Amino acid sequence: MSDAMRLSVFKTYKLYVGGKFPRSESGRVYEVTDSKGKWLANAPLSSRKDARDAVVAARKAFGGWSGATAYNRGQILYRIAEMLEGRKDQFVREVAQAEGLSKSKAAEVVETAIDRWVWYAGWTDKIAQVVGGANPVAGPYFNLSSPEPTGVVTIVAPQESSFLGLVSVVAPVIATGNTAVVIASEKAPLPALSLGEVLATSDLPGGVVNVLSGRTAEIAAPLAAHQDVNGIDLTGADEVLAKELEVAAADNLKRVLRPQAVDFSADPGTHRLTSFLETKTVWHPTGSLGASGSAY
């Protein structure tokens, strides 16, 4: 039987919420096309209810994920890189179609994205030493500052860089123990939805990353206003939307990462890791031995 005679199997792209792959509760989809306007798939058009469901899933996952050891989180992030490596061809095809890149350029983008997971896998058990530590207070107290994850973070993923950009904003948020509700690129959501399939097979607990596709403004508004969301990364929001979302985010004082020009192929630094960290400082009296002055 020749290839020409075989009808290929299309994939139904679905959301990734709480470790499952639901359709939008609204039953809506929208047409996703390649850079030339050719139909690729129907993606779920998420509703506000989908957004709220995703927050519930992310909150449920937060205790376990933030409480996991940093070493364990690193292992899982590395596992994501391994799974991606094995499905590289698929992502090269999807990124090439989504962003109108040549196959070789798309391959470069996907490889950089895989390497980015490796970079952040290594950060999980190092960031605490870099940004935390003992403080030499002027008194008989043990005093230690440690970073802790902020909580549930909404991520408005980059609109143009549908995969490398996406990975670059999601990985640092979860590396430190946050859980995420990710709004995929509006016009190129397919790589993000496929990433959900990779995450689902990488030992990442369900709900740590939740991926929604649809109209960015429609999904982002209820998330920015949601009282159980603790932070919001506005990278993929335009100027007008970003301001609107920042105003809504003020209602429960979400930590806000404003949009800024980013070259996703450059060294990412630590800024995205530290944007959704809180510092906790613990004091305890030390008591004193040898008060008589004797040094043993």
Partner 1 sequence: MASAFDYAPAPESRSIVDIAPSYGLFVDGEFTDAADGKVFKTVSPSSEEVLAEVARAGAEDVDRAVKAARKAFETWSALPGAERAKYLFRIARIIQERSRELAVLETLDNGKPIKETRDADLPLVAAHFFYYAGWADKLDHAGFGANPRPLGVAGQVIPWNFPLLMLAWKIAPALATGNTVVLKPAETTPLSALFFADICRQAGLPNGVVNILPGYGDTGSALVAHPDVDKVAFTGSTAVGKAIARQIAGTRKKVTLELGGKGANIVFDDAPIDQAVEGIVNGIFFNQGQVCCAGSRLLVQESIQDELLDSLKRRLSTLRLGDPLDKNTDIGAINSEEQLARITTLVEAGEAEGAERWSPACELPTSGYWFAPTLFTGVTQAHTIARDEIFGPVLSVLTFRTPDEAVAKANNSQYGLSAGIWTEKGSRILAVANKLRAGVVWANTFNKFDPTSPFGGYKESGFGREGGRHGLEAYLDV
Near partner 1 by CB under 8 A, which window of 16-24, 78-86, 131-139, 174-182? 131-139
Tokens of 143: 């005093």
Taking CB under 8 A as the criterion, the residue among 35, 201, 252, 265 binding partner 1 is: 252
Residue 149 or 191: which CB sits closer to partner 1? Answer: 149
Tokens of 57: 């899933």
* Alpha carbons 93 and 237: distance in angstroms, whole number: 26
* Alpha carbons 166 and 80: distance in angstroms, whole number: 14
Near partner 1 by CB under 8 A, which window of 22-30, 98-106, 140-148, 183-191? 140-148
Residue 131 or 262: which CB sits closer to partner 1? Answer: 131
Asked if residue 11 binds partner 1 (CB under 8 A), the reply is no
Taking CB under 8 A as the criterion, the residue among 136, 289, 291, 295 binding partner 1 is: 136
Q: What mask, x for binding partner 1 by CB under 8 A, covers residues 94 to 123?
A: ------------------------------
Min dist. Cβ of residue 249 to partner 1 (A): 8
Closest CA to 16 of 218, 191, 217, 149: 191
* Alpha carbons 45 and 254: distance in angstroms, whole number: 26
Asked if residue 284 binds partner 1 (CB under 8 A), the reply is yes
Phi, psi of 123 (to 5 degrees): -80, -25
Cβ 212 vs Cβ 54: under 8 Å: yes
* Alpha carbons 40 and 143: distance in angstroms, whole number: 56
Q: Which residues bind partner 1 (CB under 8 A)?
A: 130-131, 135-139, 141, 143, 145, 230, 239, 242-243, 246-247, 249-253, 255, 269, 271, 278-285
